[in-house]
Amino acid sequence: MTAPLSTSASASDLPTVRLMPKANARAIRHGAPWVYANELVTDRRTKKLEPGTLARLEDAERQPLGLVAVNPTSKIIARMLDPDPEAQIDQSWFEAHIARALDLRNRLYDAPYYRLIHAEADGLPGVVIDRFGDTCVVQPNAAWAEALLTPLCAALVAVTGVTNVLKNAGGRTRTLEGLDDVSTVLAGDAPDAALPVPMNGAIYMADLTGGQKTGLFYDQRPNHAFAANLSRGARVLDVFAHVGGFSLAALAAGATSAVAVDGSAPALELAAQGAAEMGVADRFETRQGDAFDTLAALRTEDATFDVVICDPPAFAPSRNALDAGLRAYERIARLAAPLVAENGILVLCSCSHAADLGQFRVASVRGIGRAGRRPILLHTGFAGPDHPQLPQLAESGYLKSLVFRL
C-alpha cells in the first residue's frame, strides 16, 4: 500500500525522522542518496509511516539534512529528495528536475531516443524514464514515486511535450518496495506495434508494452558503437542479443554476417524485423536457445567468428548471488573464447552492480585462460552518458564492457 501523499502540504506538517549517532551524516550532506534501515532511528512512530511518506531528515544532533521519502518496509528506509527540508514536492518540483535532465540529453543526442531520467543521478530516486520519440516509459521503482505519479506524469508531458506516457511496473525493486506489478497507460495511448528506434546507424524495434524492461537497452549504446567499429568485414556472433543490440550495429557498420542468439523468440523476431527495416536481412541470422548450450553446440560445429559478443542479464543481481554470478561470467568467457578466430575480438559485458569491474575482469580473464586463449584488453566500456553515475552511489556504475583481442 502506498501513502496518500499530498502535493500541497507544507513542510512543517511533515513528520521528522532522525539518523542514529553512528550514521554518517557527512555522507548525506555530501550527496549520498540513501539511508539504510540500520542508520535511522526506527521508533514506533517511524515504523507506522506509510511507504513513500515524505519526511524531514535530521542528524543525531537534530540538525536538518533535507527532505526524504521514507519506506519502513525497505532496507533503503529513506531516499533523499531535496537538501532543502522545506522543499515542496509538487509538479513544479518535478518539472525543474525533468527540464535539467532534458537539457543534458538535448546536448548529447540529436534525436529523442534516450534514457531521460536515470534515478538518483538525475535527482529522482528510484525513477527511470526512457524516451522513444513522443512516447515515454516510466518505471516508478520506489514507493514515493508511485504515490506521486500524477504530478510526475503531468510534469513529464509539460516539459517534454510527449503525447504518450506508459507505466512499466516490471522492475525487480518494486517488489522490495512493496509495490504491485500492474503496468498501465498514464497519458495518451500505448503503441499497437513495436516502435522503430534509430541508434548507431541501426534500426531497433522496441516493444514498449511486452518487451524486457522499458523495451530497449539504451545503456549499451557506446559499447555497441565501439564493437561495431571492430566489426567491419567481420563475421559476428551476438549472444544474449535481445533485439539485436550488438549485431544490428555491427551490420550497419559493415559486418559481412551476424548471428543473434537469445532464449526469447519474441525478442529475436523483433531483431529480425530490425534487420529487415535496415535492408540487411540477407546477412542476419537468429538462433533461439539457451546461451550456454548454444555456445557449446557452436563449438562442436567448429564454428568460428571474427567478433563474439556476450551481453548476459545480471548474473549477480545482489551480494548474495555474487559468487555464483562470477562463476557464470567465467563460464561464459570459457565457452565463448574458443569460437573467436585467431586475432579476433571477444566482448564480455556485465550489468551486475554487485560484481565490480575488478571482479568481473578477473572472472573473464580466468575463463578465457581456461579456454586456452591469451587475451589482451583493448577497451573498457561503461553505460552511455544518458545513464550518468552518481559518484556517491557505487550501484549506479553497474554496466561494464570488456573488449579483448585473443
Integer angstrom CA distances of residue 283 from 247, 279, 303, 347: 10, 9, 17, 21
pLDDT given for residue 1 in this prediction: 37
**Would you kindly state where each structural domain of the chain is located, as residue ranges?**
11-82, 91-187, 195-405
Q: At residue 10, does pLDDT exceed 80?
A: no
Binning pLDDT at 50, 70 and 90, where does residue 7 land? very low
* Rounded distance between C-alpha atoms, residue 310 and residue 182, angstroms: 31
- pLDDT per residue as tens digits for the range 283-340: 999 999 999 999 999 999 999 999 999 999 999 988 899 999 999 999 999 999 999 9
pLDDT in tens, 157-202: 999 999 999 999 987 789 889 999 999 999 999 999 999 999 999 9
| CA angle (49 as vertex; 47, 55 as ends), nearest 5 | 115
> If you search the block for the grid coordinates 550518468, which residue do you land on?
388
In the predicted structure, residue 398 carries a pLDDT above the cut 90: yes
Percent of the chain at pLDDT > 70 equals 97
Q: Domain 195-405: which topology?
A: Rossmann fold (3.40.50)
Question: Domain spanning 11-82 has what CATH number?
Answer: 2.30.130.10
Active site residue 351: yes
pLDDT at 2 over 80: no
- pLDDT for res 339: 98
3-state class of 9 per DSSP? coil
Phi, psi of 207 (to 5 degrees): -90, 105
Running DSSP on this structure, what letter comes out for residue 33? Answer: -
pLDDT tens-place string over residues 36-46: 999 999 999 99
pLDDT number for residue 6: 42
Task: Name the H helices within 109-202.
Answer: 143-147, 149-160, 172-176
Nearest Cα residue to 309 out of 393, 251, 369, 227: 227
Q: For domain 91-187, give its CATH number from 3.30.950.10, 3.40.50.150, 3.30.750.80, 3.40.50.460.
A: 3.30.750.80
- Cα(212)–Cα(288) distance, integer angstroms: 16
Start-to-end CA distance of the chain, whole Å, equals 53
Mean pLDDT in the chain? Answer: 94
pLDDT tens string 24-73: 999 999 999 999 999 999 999 999 999 999 999 999 999 999 999 999 99
* Mean pLDDT, residues 152-156: 98
Q: Are 129 and 116 in contact (CB under 8 A)?
A: yes
What is residue 11's predicted lDDT score, i.e. its pLDDT?
A: 55
